[in-house]
A and B are shown apart, each in its own frame.
Chain A
Amino acid sequence: MNAAILSRGRLAVWCSCLALAFALPLVLKSGFVISLLCQIGIMAVFSLSYNMLLGQTGLLSFGHAVYYGLGAFATIHLLNAIGKGGGPFTTALLPFAGGLAGLAAGLLLGYVTTRKAGTTFAMITLGIGEMVAACSLMFPGIFGGEGGVSGNRVVGKETFLGFSWGPQVEMYGLIVLWAFACTVAMFALTQTPLGRMANAVRDNPERAEFVGYDTERVRFLMVVLSGFFAGIAGGLSALSYEIVTAETLNAHTSGIVLLIAFVGGIGFFYGPIIGAILVTVMQIVIGGMTHAWLLYFGLFFLFMVLMAPGGIASLIAVQRALWQAGLLGRMLPHYAATTLPVLILLAGLIGLVELSYALLTGDGSEGPSKVMSMQLELKTPAPWLTALAVTGIGITLTRWIGGRMRHEWNATLSTLHGDRS
């Protein structure tokens, strides 16, 4: 039994991830990509903290943004309060203050929310989330009203080890450090008595009580600790954007973090990190390309819930199991064969969505409209029929080739499980 928190293999993977995170901005130098990476780092911490509740303790929270938002507000106010008295070193530590704010919120709100698990917990978090969001608009002195609270992360002219945190790429470095430290800490927590008992409470709260554990206390501690890490994520976002609005603690943000954790895979520690990467890229990249991105995101979420309820991480885990059993080679040609029909289907669907979107949101004027870099006459049948035809071909091919893949998939899986038992 290894004495370290991380086994040697795991340590290698984690260090490679850290090195990769630091190396990325050396290759991808555009400001857009750096901002994207910053957002991914922040959301990774936020969604990992969320999964301490959903995945590890079995608590479905609809109000996790409260801790994130309060952490962000605490950080920005502290930044402004310290003002010229601080320096880059103090600024770098500010997310910790955000974490403490999240922790304090957890102590206060967790006391109320963790009395019951299940649906009751979900409903109370929803109520408290709404309450805090409403408060944020009632006290513009603290929450800045509609405009939010802004600050400046560059304090004075001095630097710390050459960093002023002014350029976004320096901020990115700071986010990577914090995100890595938080990830290690959250992983370490899963390897402690409390972390394991949280799993036990998730699986069977009644049994947990009959082995001596107060399930209420276990839930409470997990909410408090999860609030701490969510607060750190909020603090990082405050420093990164230099503005905190009421949006950071409302239901939309709570919803996004739930989706990220779910899409990534709540059954795996690293699932939410994958979710954070995927959803943030979709949000910013697809969001930059089309106004209909929320619709695509909704469809994607629906697809995941129906086809891979364990999230991306579960798909990866199955491939890994196949690979280890030497069965992955059997599936690879089928994956490759299915890619083309799926792409055709996607192209057709995107065409339909974009055409509908252009028609519904257009100004109604005659003449060609610009859809997907093409000049199309929306009120003629040609573009619609084309999109429909592509979709139809896509569906037919996907059903045909995808059906064969599914057949092979089931056979391979039964071989895998047959070997195991």
Chain B
Amino acid sequence: MSVPAIRIQGLKKNFGASEIIRGVDLDIHRGERHAIIGPNGAGKSTLFHLISARLPITSGAIELKGENVVGLKPFEINRKGLSRSFQITNIFHNLSVFENLRCAVLWSLGYRYSFWHRLAGLKDARQRAEAVMDDIGLGKRRDTPAGILSYAEQRALEIGITIASGADVILLDEPTAGMSNTETEEAVALIRRVTEGKTLVMVEHDMGVVFGLADRISVLVYGQIIATDAPAAIRCNAAVQEAYLGTTLNHD
């Protein structure tokens, strides 16, 4: 069996005395679309923060493509091919849409901290940024400062920045939160398109999105994963239904 894209073992995270992640074991296969669902406060976003090193872990192990990444800094993990989006839009507000995307591709193209290259002369950076810009449907907003885009446009840009570097493991934290139905449909199509051939892990509340996109679903409840399975099996899982008391997975 091939090395999983992400392997998490015995992962724990405490904030002071309160345990938020209480022993998570999870394998994300290469090339799969994996959704993490669970009630509010289950620790889904925290799990993302731990994988991407935004927060330090308390104990456990995290491997990215077979390589231990515990203790690395966010930018080091990003350079190993893991890219993530945020639940709260996290973009460069004063820079234009195009500049946002160009910033996102510079490192992966090897320009590092160069102060001897002229940005305008970097054809590869421009082309890649423009390709992503067209992909996320913001071609007409090229020179608009990101801060004054509409909410849905900012969310699209957030996804664009996340995928622009060409990372092969993508973490999306509630990509469709706060969107209207039409916007959600467009976002799902966008996610499907841009994560083709990549490993996708997403946290999502919209069950339509989850069951439409995911190959496998993990259910996180109170810091523990109570089930990981294909969507159809998760739907019938008794433990999952119990965790979602009062809400029905079928009609959400």
Interface residues, chain A, with chain B CB atoms under 8 Å away: 1-3, 5, 188-189, 191-197, 199-200, 202-204, 206-215, 217-218, 221, 225
Cα–Cα distance between A24 and B118 once the two chains are bound (Å): 33
- Which residue from B78, B95, B122 sits with its C-beta under 8 Å from A209? B78
Given A204-B90, A207-B161, A212-B79, A192–B74 Cβ distance below 8 Å?
A: no
Residues of B within 8 A of A218 (CB): 113
User: What's the nearest-Cβ distance from chain A to residue B45, in Å?
Assistant: 14
Residues of A within 8 A of B199 (CB): none
**28 A-B interface contacts by CB (under 8 A):** A1-B120, A2-B120, A191-B120, A192-B117, A193-B106, A193-B112, A193-B113, A194-B113, A195-B119, A196-B99, A196-B102, A197-B103, A197-B113, A199-B92, A199-B95, A203-B92, A203-B95, A207-B161, A209-B75, A209-B78, A211-B78, A211-B83, A211-B103, A211-B107, A211-B165, A213-B75, A214-B75, A215-B75
Cα–Cα distance between A267 and B52 once the two chains are bound (Å): 32
- List B residues 101-119 near A (Cβ within 8 Å): 102-104, 106-108, 111-119
Nearest 8 interchain pairs by C-beta: A212-B107, A203-B92, A193-B111, A194-B115, A209-B74, A212-B78, A211-B104, A192-B115
CB of B93 closer than 8 Å to a CB of A: yes
User: What's the nearest-Cβ distance from chain B to residue A421, in Å?
Assistant: 9
Q: Which residue in chain A gives the minimum CB-CB distance to B111?
A: A193
Question: Does B75 contact A200, Cβ atoms closer than 8 Å?
Answer: no
CB of B30 closer than 8 Å to a CB of A: no
Contact bitstring B66-108, A, C-beta under 8 A = 1, else 0: 0000000111001100011010001111110001001110111
- Which residue from A194, A200, A210 sits with its C-beta under 8 Å from B114? A194
Residues of A within 8 A of B120 (CB): 1-3, 191
Cα–Cα distance between A221 and B113 once the two chains are bound (Å): 8
Cα–Cα distance between A196 and B114 once the two chains are bound (Å): 10
User: What's the nearest-Cβ distance from chain A to residue B60, in Å?
Assistant: 22
Residues of A within 8 A of B126 (CB): 1
- Interface of chain A, main secondary structure: helix
- Which residue from B78, B95, B102, B119 sits with its C-beta under 8 Å from A210? B78
Question: Does B119 contact A193, Cβ atoms closer than 8 Å?
Answer: yes
- Which residue from A1, A210, A213 sits with its C-beta under 8 Å from B52? A210
Question: Does A208 contact B78, Cβ atoms closer than 8 Å?
Answer: no
User: What's the nearest-Cβ distance from chain A to residue B68, in Å?
Assistant: 19
Question: Does B79 contact A195, Cβ atoms closer than 8 Å?
Answer: no
Interface residues, chain B, with chain A CB atoms under 8 Å away: 52, 54, 73-75, 78-79, 83-84, 86, 90-95, 99, 102-104, 106-108, 111-122, 126, 161, 164-165
Residues of B within 8 A of A192 (CB): 114-119
Given A192-B116, A195-B115, A218-B113, A212–B99 Cβ distance below 8 Å?
A: no
Q: Which residue in chain B gives the minimum CB-CB distance to A7?
A: B120
Question: Does A213 contact B107, Cβ atoms closer than 8 Å?
Answer: yes
Question: Does A200 contact B117, Cβ atoms closer than 8 Å?
Answer: no
Residues of A within 8 A of B119 (CB): 191-193, 195-196
Residues of A within 8 A of B165 (CB): 211-212
User: What's the nearest-Cβ distance from chain B to residue A23, in Å?
Assistant: 31
User: What's the nearest-Cβ distance from chain A to residue B43, in Å?
Assistant: 20
Question: Does A200 contact B113, Cβ atoms closer than 8 Å?
Answer: no
User: What's the nearest-Cβ distance from chain A to residue B251, in Å?
Assistant: 36
Most central of A200, A208, A210 by chain B CB within 10 Å: A210
Cα–Cα distance between A1 and B119 once the two chains are bound (Å): 11
Q: Which residue in chain A gives the minimum CB-CB distance to B79?
A: A212
Taking A203-B92, A210-B75, A211-B107 as known contacts, 7 extra A-B pairs with beta carbons closer than 8 A to each other, sorted by chain A number, are A3-B121, A192-B115, A193-B117, A196-B103, A210-B83, A213-B75, A225-B115
